[in-house]
Structure 1
Amino acid sequence: MTRRSIEEIKARADELADAFENYDPKPGDQDAPVPPVLAVKLAAWRRDTAEQELAEAVLSAREQRMSWREVGEAIGTSGEAARQRYGASA
């Protein structure tokens, strides 16, 4: 591995910053394939975000006196399953 000087590192950082700032998307760029590991990480992040949003919505629904049966129906499960999954936080 070749050691680089601070000046070389700064120059490369400037090149990358310029490329980022001047990036002009081309037609089809939004459809570019995502590396598999990145796709998995992105899907996991989305799932975690959705689960947090759902838990907050269930808590809010329970605070407004929505029954576990109604909560379960809203999320496609039984009221008991909803209570077991979200009851500790509600």
Structure 2
Amino acid sequence: MREPHDDLKARADEFADAFENYDPMPGDQDAPLPPTMAVRLAAWRRDTAEKELAEAVRAAREQSVSWREVGEAIGTSGEAARQRYGASS
């Protein structure tokens, strides 16, 4: 007898295969995102950029870059940079 989760697994495998074998067509990337998806994407990009920036600041500080130089690089004062990123360095 076939178990209910077998159908679910088969369907998931179908979706995985379709995803792995997807070949974009011209115009696929031109379709606008639904508004809430655009917001989610922008938030994810912001979070990713903030993590990358924090890591870059940490690496710069490990190389003895001053807070003043870090602040100048990100468009703020050294003190503001230290207050924002100092706890992680």
Tell me if TM exceeds 0.5: yes
**2:48 aligned with 1:29:** no
5+ long unaligned stretches in structure 1: 1-5
**2:49 aligned with 1:50:** yes
Show the counterpart of 1:71. Answer: 70
Show the counterpart of 1:84. Answer: 83
Show the counterpart of 1:60. Answer: 59
- What secondary structure sits across from 1:77 in the alignment? coil
Bigger mean CA deviation after superposition, 39-48 or 16-25: 16-25
- What secondary structure sits across from 1:88 in the alignment? helix
Give the structure with higher Rg (CA).
Answer: 1
Q: Work out the number of aligned pairs and report it.
A: 86
What's the TM-score once normalised by structure 2's chain length? 0.78
Q: Give the helix-richer structure, 1 or 2.
A: 2
User: Judging changes above 3 Å, is the alpha-carbon distance between structure 1 residues 69 and 28 closer, same or farther for their aligned structure 2 residues?
Assistant: same
Identity of aligned residues (%): 79
Show the counterpart of 1:41. Answer: 40
Write the letter of the residue equivalent to 2:79.
Answer: E
Deviations 1:44-89 (A, max 9, x none): 0110010001001100100110000000000011101000000101
The Cα RMSD (Å) is: 2.5
User: Judging changes above 3 Å, is the alpha-carbon distance between structure 1 residues 33 and 63 closer, same or farther for their aligned structure 2 residues?
Assistant: same
5+ long unaligned stretches in structure 2: none
